Amino acid sequence: MNNKVELCGVNTSTLPVLSKKEKEELFIKIKEGDTEARDRFIRGNLRLVLSVIQRFSNRGENPDDLFQVGCIGLIKAIDNFNTEVGVQFSTYAVPMIIGEIRRFLRDEGPIRVSRSLKDIAYKALRARESFINKNSREPSMTELSKELDIPREDIVTALDAIADPVSLYEPIYHDGGEAIYVMDQVRDTKNTDTNWLESIALKEAMKHLSAREKHILDLRFFNGRTQTEVAEDIGISQAQVSRLEKSALKQLRKYV
């Protein structure tokens, strides 16, 4: 996608970049109903859409589709942006574009969510956007619950249900060098250095056991057999199995 020049018939290499002054002047005209200024503002911010859809390049989606959906998010941001809030347009527009793309991916994705949950979730998202526009801050779940007259738990469940799955290979930080991905921040509680060293120590300790002792421990602790079952398997008494097992474990503790 990075090497693609055209998206939806738009030559991305020729897209204009608006200065801060130009944006301010165009927004004044947009608020007055100037459609030509609105079209020019949209075209002047298409590079913003391009930068956002690159975050979703590893999803296997058609770049043209993502670009079109991103443009819808851009238009919504233009229509709802309040110049009196005191933030840059890009600061407001990027979350709107991301939200629109994520909604598209949720609706078209492999995970199916019931219509009732989707309805509650989208009502909550619309109420959230409206609340942010009015108060310039994120609403709490309690505030959303009161606004929609829907139980707080139902809103949380609905928003969790439509949450977009995150790829382990999605970059979360990039400083110009190597990127840090989600998988770099996920702790592996199984294959830790401690477990690895303990596994090596156990293997070394097992070398000090006799073949019969190794066989008994293997049947008892790796195959889940009882002492009686082990006794029947190798042809000795249960008491002998018990003594051999205790002796083998004592040897292991000495060397581990």
Tens digits of residue pLDDT in 125-161? 889 988 888 888 889 989 999 999 999 888 988 888 7
Coil, helix or strand at residue 11: strand
pLDDT at 90: 86
CA angle, residues 130, 131, 133, in degrees to nearest 5: 65
Task: Please give the full DSSP string across 15-48, using - where no structure is assigned.
Answer: -----HHHHHHHHHHHHTT-HHHHHHHHHTTHHH
Within 10 Å of residue 101's Cβ, how many Cβ atoms?
25
Distance CA(107)–CA(19), nearest Å, equals 36
pLDDT at 148: 92
**pTM for this one?**
0.44
Distance CA(148)–CA(140), nearest Å, equals 12
pLDDT at 173: 61
Within 10 Å of residue 220's Cβ, how many Cβ atoms?
18
Burial of 42 (0-12, 13-18, 19+ CB in 10 A): middle
Going along the chain from its start, the domains and CATH numbers come out as 1-109 (1.20.120.1810), 193-255 (1.10.10.10)
Distance CA(245)–CA(213), nearest Å, equals 7
The pair of three-digit structure tokens given for residue 210, joined into one six-digit string: 């006799």
**Do the Cβ atoms of 8 and 68 come closer than 8 Å?**
yes
Report, in angstroms and rounded to the nearest whole number, the Rg of the chain calculated over CA atoms: 30
What digits encode the pLDDT tens for the residues 164-190? 666 666 666 655 556 666 666 666 566
Below-70 pLDDT ranges, the chain = 1-12, 59, 107-113, 164-197
Burial of 18 (0-12, 13-18, 19+ CB in 10 A): middle
pLDDT at 149: 93
pLDDT at 20: 83
Q: How far is CA 71 from CA 37, 91, 101, 245, in A?
A: 16, 16, 9, 70
Distance CA(148)–CA(48), nearest Å, equals 32
